[in-house]
């Protein structure tokens, strides 16, 4: 039934029922993210932890988007369909397939997927993707002396250079000395050629981010190292960050596409995410720290970013998205993939991939498999601490986005009235802070209603013009 109100009373703050706030059962595991699909296979081998899955990666091949996830047994590849579902495109068994497998990681270059594992008698696997969506083909399984157990992998696609982190070759059942990092040329993508190994003065490189020969190394308890690999056989050392605030085991990081912001995680209980600015001379300088539930020991694991948002696979907390146009960055969206209760702080979300053109996201969860989400960054034109409507004015046929303050987690209600005081739209939602509404030509008054952090009911009005 339509309702009618007298507009002056709305503007002055007429009395609304607050039952929609007090009687709603909130769904606390999701905000501003759309769940699309999930894949898991409980028949995969595991141990008492029920951890079957590890790293994930995404790529585009032959006009379709694909998702990859590692398991205890090997590599699983899925096509993301037009109906937003995950459809299996094939499986490649790992050289080492065992319940003890914890780490598998992936990157792509041209028509190939490169896979590494950090347990057992592992190898560098090169998988041909050119036959997708019909089939996958393992074309190389490369072991000692150059390859073996490998903790992580990165490919500088602009320079056709492969970076393998913490390589431990196994030759004739003998474990050789680990190498912090090895760098290979991919001028022939199926035959990597060694260019360099090092650094010789530290124990390990846990992970690395590289773009156009600029490499930022995550070196565990030795902090961060920066190198220029323009001459890959003799890289130039440019910076070391040996000590920093809230320091732990330096785990992984990501540089924004515009190369102005770098984020990294420390894999320790309760550690925050670090935000560094990258200066024009490529020097990294501290800006801020941020995170979620760190006071209770939550641990950020893997991270990616674009030029506005940071996407974090948070152990035990799922996918967390932060807007770094504020200082410190503010959480604007999340989906908790791990709802089980556990005192162990390294369960749940492991990997994240946020670089799909379709604005889809994937998360790999150690216990719960592969998750597919939709997140629309375009509906966040800038951070807001007060309700907003945009675009405003707009033209008929275009949607209006009604945005509540980013820090509001409770129930929210938007009501829209025409100039006669007639209610034409009303919606309540506990999980999202942005409402997308298509309105006919005319002039309207919108009323935002929400509960602030003190439990007080707040109301805000905005005039809307649809031309």
| Domains in the chain, CATH or no CATH each | 7-28+384-466 (2.60.40.3080), 33-374 (2.130.10.10)
Alpha-carbon distances, residue 399 vs 382, 429, 434, 436 (angstroms): 18, 18, 12, 6
The two counts, helices (H) then strands (E), for the chain are 2, 38
* Predicted local confidence at residue 172, as pLDDT: 81
Residue 50 tokens, joined: 């029920």
Distance between CA atoms of 299 and 315, rounded to whole angstroms? 6
Alpha-carbon distances, residue 441 vs 7, 403, 419, 448 (angstroms): 19, 21, 12, 21
pTM of the predicted structure, to 2 decimals: 0.85
- As a whole number of Å, the end-to-end CA separation of the chain is 27
* Predicted local confidence at residue 383, as pLDDT: 76
Task: Characterize the bridge pairing of strands 442-451 and 412-418.
Answer: antiparallel
DSSP state of 392: S
* Predicted local confidence at residue 342, as pLDDT: 82
Task: Characterize the bridge pairing of strands 174-175 and 170-171.
Answer: antiparallel
Low-confidence ranges of the chain (pLDDT < 70): 1-28, 453-454
Task: Characterize the bridge pairing of strands 434-437 and 124-128.
Answer: unpaired
Upper half-sphere CA count for residue 162 (Cβ side, 13 Å): 31
Q: Which helix (H) or strand (E) holds 106?
A: strand 104-109
Omega before residue 133 within 30° of 0, cis? yes
């Amino acid at each position: 039934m339509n309702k009618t109100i007298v507009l002056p009373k709305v503007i002055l703050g007429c009395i609304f029922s607050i039952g929609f706030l007090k009687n709603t059962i909130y769904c606390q595991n999701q905000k501003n993210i759309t769940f699309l699909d999930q894949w898991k296979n409980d028949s995969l081998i595991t141990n008492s932890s029920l951890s079957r899955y590890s790293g994930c990666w995404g790529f585009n091949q032959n006009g379709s988007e694909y998702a990859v996830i590692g398991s205890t047994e090997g590599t699983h590849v899925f096509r993301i369909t037009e109906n937003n579902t995950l459809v299996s495109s094939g499986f490649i068994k790992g050289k080492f397939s065992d319940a003890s497998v914890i780490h598998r990681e992936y990157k792509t270059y041209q028509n190939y997927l490169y896979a590494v594992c950090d347990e057992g008698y592992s190898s560098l696997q090169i998988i041909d993707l050119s036959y997708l969506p019909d089939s996958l083909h393992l074309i190389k399984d490369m072991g000692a002396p150059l390859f073996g157990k490998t903790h992580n992998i990165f490919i500088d696609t602009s320079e056709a250079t492969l970076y393998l982190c913490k390589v431990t070759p196994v030759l004739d059942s003998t474990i050789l000395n680990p190498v912090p990092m090895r760098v290979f040329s991919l001028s022939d993508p199926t035959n990597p050629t060694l260019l360099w190994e090092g650094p010789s003065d530290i124990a390990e490189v846990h992970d690395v981010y590289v773009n156009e020969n600029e490499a930022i190394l995550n070196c565990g308890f030795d902090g961060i190292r920066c190198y220029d690999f323009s001459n890959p056989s003799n890289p130039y050392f440019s910076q070391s960050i040996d000590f920093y605030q809230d320091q732990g085991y330096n785990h992984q990081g990501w540089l924004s596409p515009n190369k102005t912001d770098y984020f990294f995680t420390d894999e320790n209980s309760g550690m925050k995410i670090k935000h560094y600015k990258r200066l024009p001379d490529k020097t990294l300088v501290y800006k801020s720290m941020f995170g979620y539930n760190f006071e209770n020991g939550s641990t950020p694991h893997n991270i990616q970013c674009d030029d506005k948002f940071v996407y974090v696979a948070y152990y035990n907390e799922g996918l967390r998205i932060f807007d770094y146009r504020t200082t410190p960055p503010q959480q604007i969206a999340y989906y908790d993939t791990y709802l089980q209760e556990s005192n162990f702080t390294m369960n749940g979300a492991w990997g994240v991939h946020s670089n799909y053109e379709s604005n889809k996201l994937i998360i790999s969860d150690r216990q719960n498999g592969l998750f597919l989400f939709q997140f629309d960054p375009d509906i966040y034109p800038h951070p807001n601490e007060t309700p907003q409507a945009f675009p405003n004015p707009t033209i008929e046929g275009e949607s209006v986005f009604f945005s509540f303050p980013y820090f509001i987690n409770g129930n929210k209600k938007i009501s829209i009235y025409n100039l006669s005081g007639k209610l034409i739209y009303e919606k309540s939602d506990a999980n999202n802070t942005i409402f997308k509404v298509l309105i006919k030509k005319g002039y309207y008054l919108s009323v935002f209603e929400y509960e602030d952090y003190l439990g007080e009911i707040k109301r805000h009005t905005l005039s809307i013009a649809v031309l």
